[in-house]
Amino acid sequence: MVEYRFYHPIEVRYGDLDPQGHVNNAKYLTFMEQARVAYIQHLGLWKYGSFMDLGIIIADAHVTFLAPIHLDQPVRVGVHVSRLGNKSLTMEYRLEDGRDGKVLATGSSVLVTFDYRNEVSIPIPDDWRKTIADFEDLHEPESRKITH
Amino acid sequence: MVEYRFYHPIEVRYGDLDPQGHVNNAKYLTFMEQARVAYIQHLGLWKYGSFMDLGIIIADAHVTFLAPIHLDQPVRVGVHVSRLGNKSLTMEYRLEDGRDGKVLATGSSVLVTFDYRNEVSIPIPDDWRKTIADFEDLHEPESRKITH
Amino acid sequence: MVEYRFYHPIEVRYGDLDPQGHVNNAKYLTFMEQARVAYIQHLGLWKYGSFMDLGIIIADAHVTFLAPIHLDQPVRVGVHVSRLGNKSLTMEYRLEDGRDGKVLATGSSVLVTFDYRNEVSIPIPDDWRKTIADFEDLHEPESRKITH
Amino acid sequence: MVEYRFYHPIEVRYGDLDPQGHVNNAKYLTFMEQARVAYIQHLGLWKYGSFMDLGIIIADAHVTFLAPIHLDQPVRVGVHVSRLGNKSLTMEYRLEDGRDGKVLATGSSVLVTFDYRNEVSIPIPDDWRKTIADFEDLHEPESRKITH
């Protein structure tokens, strides 16, 4: 199982619930988004300045729902970057019960680095690449570096 | 490309937008959910009675984001059941611009039929299976019926 | 009872409902906001361009809840400007069942005209004042014009 | 200024923001609702069981917006019951910046006690009345008790 080095706690809101009495499926993406923003801020890659400077676009999102989430349940979201491509990266998420670590949902998203001013995708900026690779221990093996 | 026999129009709300000025990613699941509920109602499988009688659980959701959605954009969501399993079915969605049919996003969800009162998954009820198979023309070929 | 010259239809979404099975109270402000944006667009005062050009801030909001709103209920929101002040105006709202006109909720908001670039409140722009006064028939009586 | 004996912290979510970059007006009601539910739970009046047992309906809501709320701002919501009527009570709210106590918004709601099973309003249950009056020090003066 993936080791998560970053977790963000989420308080379930009454407003997250739907008529079936548990968290609505769309809110899982909201929880993952919140944890993603906290991860980026934790790594010092974005300073809560202009949202236009955040510079990532979601290309793809996937959620697997494993257990319903209730109002009184403390939730924590693990965030993990599993892939650093040229112009995109993959983030993985794991929603857990904060009390016992029970996995409530897993998910992933493909994020494309984007220049909002010129509206084009751009290579992952060097500081993002280095900071994330350091944090996640994602450095390429020597052999691969040689062949490229 | 899949032929969609059911579309549901969505009015984008100001409240669906996020700081980047377009529809927030989590709202795509809300749009798909709204179209899913309309589809089920359109086929006469649920009468807007008790939500506990709806009897489906989302096991998995996937969204591919192809273009940002803006406030003034009329959206329609195509809904299509592509698979009828024993205790689960797969729905596919296509978000299109209502003016020119441009595809804005695609998605799918795996839905498990569920008995809320006893909290167990159940085989797809016969009336659901027949109604959906008729609507989507999903009937099995004769040969397969014979061999099984 | 106030005469509403503008109505905007709202489709209740499954995602608007809460565990009590009807529309969550916060969504009433979302419905009023959506109708407000439509009103402003209808009067040609804003062209869905930059949201920073919209130039209004909500100073105060009030909702009276008269009846629960259900998923299958077509809703329409009446919008009416009842007061044009110097730097603010008052909008009133009425949520009605689209079938029989039954009043589901009423509300109001005080909107302050605002220059986002310089972050100061500003007098209501002349084109806004004239357009709204014409639409709502809010022109001051002659006698009042003379005495001031 | 009202003394608040109960505060509930709120983490602003990216998903709470709108295109103007700060918390959307409707979310203020969501924040107040979340603090209200926490207050009721804190006083032991509801055990997060069936939502149908919560037994209150919102009749009226009012918000005064004093300052925009940003993503990186820790928010706390003060909750205070200012009036215990026969079949209704009034709650007041104050949204503050968690760092310096700056008031961001104030609000109030009128809540009607309600029997969902029989769909009628009911007198405030005795345990609610006693518990809230004790917590808020809302006991009637002796003189009033004598005259009634």
Which residues of chain C are within 8 Å of residue D116 when distances are taken between CB atoms? Answer: 20
**What integer pLDDT is reported at residue D116 of this predicted model?**
77
Q: Which domains does chain D have, with CATH numbers?
A: 6-139 (3.10.129.10)
How far CA C37 is from CA of B20, B63, D16, in Å, comes to 18, 28, 18
Helices assigned H by DSSP within A11-141: 25-42, 126-136
Region for C16 from its dihedrals, namely left if φ exceeds 0, alpha if ψ lies in -120 to 50, beta otherwise = alpha
- Contact across the interface for B71 and C15, Cβ inside 8 Å: no
* Minimal CA separation from C25 to chain A, in Å: 9
Mark out chain C residues that contact chain A at CB-CB < 8 A. 14-15, 17-19, 21, 24, 26
Tell me the C-alpha distance between D145 and D129, whole Å: 15
- Select the residue of A52, A65, A116 nearest B60 (Cβ to Cβ): A65
3-class secondary structure, B98: coil
**What integer pLDDT is reported at residue D143 of this predicted model?**
46
**What integer pLDDT is reported at residue D141 of this predicted model?**
57
Q: Is the dihedral of CA C98, C100, C103, C104 positive or negative?
A: negative
Element (H, E) at A68: none
* Minimal CA separation from B139 to chain C, in Å: 30
Could you say which DSSP state residue D85 is in? -
3-class secondary structure, D48: coil
DSSP assignment string, C125-143: PHHHHHHHHHHHT-PPPHH
Which residues of chain A are within 8 Å of residue D21 when distances are taken between CB atoms? Answer: 51
**What integer pLDDT is reported at residue C51 of this predicted model?**
63
Q: What is the pLDDT of residues A63-78, one digit of tens each?
A: 999 999 999 999 999 9
- With pLDDT > 90 as the criterion, what percentage of chain B qualifies? 74
* Minimal CA separation from A135 to chain D, in Å: 23
Tell me the C-alpha distance between C92 and C103, whole Å: 13
Chain-centroid distance, C-alpha C22: 22
The amino acid present at A43, given as its one-letter code, is L
* Minimal CA separation from A14 to chain D, in Å: 6
Mutation test of the interface with chain D: which of B17, B51, B116, choosing the one with the most D Cβ atoms within 10 A?
Answer: B17
Residue B34, Cβ density class (10 Å: 0-12 exposed, 13-18 middle, ≥19 buried): buried
Largest Cα–Cα distance in chain B?
A: 57
Helices assigned H by DSSP within chain D: 25-42, 126-136, 142-147
Q: How many CA atoms does the CB half-sphere of D118 hold within 13 Å?
A: 6
**What integer pLDDT is reported at residue D65 of this predicted model?**
98
- Contact across the interface for C17 and A14, Cβ inside 8 Å: no
Spatial contact of D77 and A13, defined as CB atoms under 8 Å apart: no
**What integer pLDDT is reported at residue B118 of this predicted model?**
82
Residue A42, Cβ density class (10 Å: 0-12 exposed, 13-18 middle, ≥19 buried): middle
- Give the contacts of A126 (CB within 8 A, at least 6 positions apart): none
DSSP assignment string, C59-109: EEEEEEE-S---TT--EEEEEEEEEE-SSEEEEEEEEEETTT--EEEEEEE
* Minimal CA separation from C77 to chain B, in Å: 14
Mark out chain B residues that contact chain D at CB-CB < 8 A. 14-15, 17-19, 21, 24, 26
Q: What is the pLDDT of residues C107-143, one digit of tens each?
A: 999 999 988 778 889 999 999 999 999 999 987 654 4
Mark out chain C residues that contact chain B at CB-CB < 8 A. 10-11, 13-15, 17, 21, 30, 33-34, 37, 48, 51, 70-72
What is the rounded (10 degree) CA torsion for B17, B22, B28, B33?
40
Helices assigned H by DSSP within chain B: 25-42, 126-136, 142-147
Tell me the C-alpha distance between C33 and A77, whole Å: 32
How far CA B45 is from CA of B4, B105, B138, D20, D82, in Å, comes to 19, 26, 17, 41, 47
**What integer pLDDT is reported at residue C115 of this predicted model?**
84
Q: What is the ipTM of this complex?
A: 0.91
**What integer pLDDT is reported at residue B145 of this predicted model?**
45
Dig out the tokens for B100 from the structure. Answer: 């020119």
Residue A144 scores a pLDDT above 80: no
Task: List chain D pLDDT tens, one digit each, 148 residues.
Answer: 668 999 999 999 999 999 989 999 999 999 999 999 999 999 998 865 666 666 889 999 999 999 999 999 999 999 999 999 999 999 999 999 999 999 999 999 999 998 877 888 999 999 999 999 999 998 765 444 443 3
Q: What is the mean pLDDT of residues A1-30?
A: 94
Provide the 10 A C-beta neighbour count for residue D117.
9
Mutation test of the interface with chain B: which of A58, A108, A115, A120, choosing the one with the most B Cβ atoms within 10 A?
Answer: A58
**What integer pLDDT is reported at residue D47 of this predicted model?**
65
Spatial contact of D128 and D40, defined as CB atoms under 8 Å apart: no
How much is the pTM?
Answer: 0.93
Spans in chain C with pLDDT lower than 50: 142-148
- Select the residue of A14, A17, A48 nearest D71 (Cβ to Cβ): A48
Spans in chain B with pLDDT lower than 50: 142-148
Dig out the tokens for C58 from the structure. Answer: 């909500």
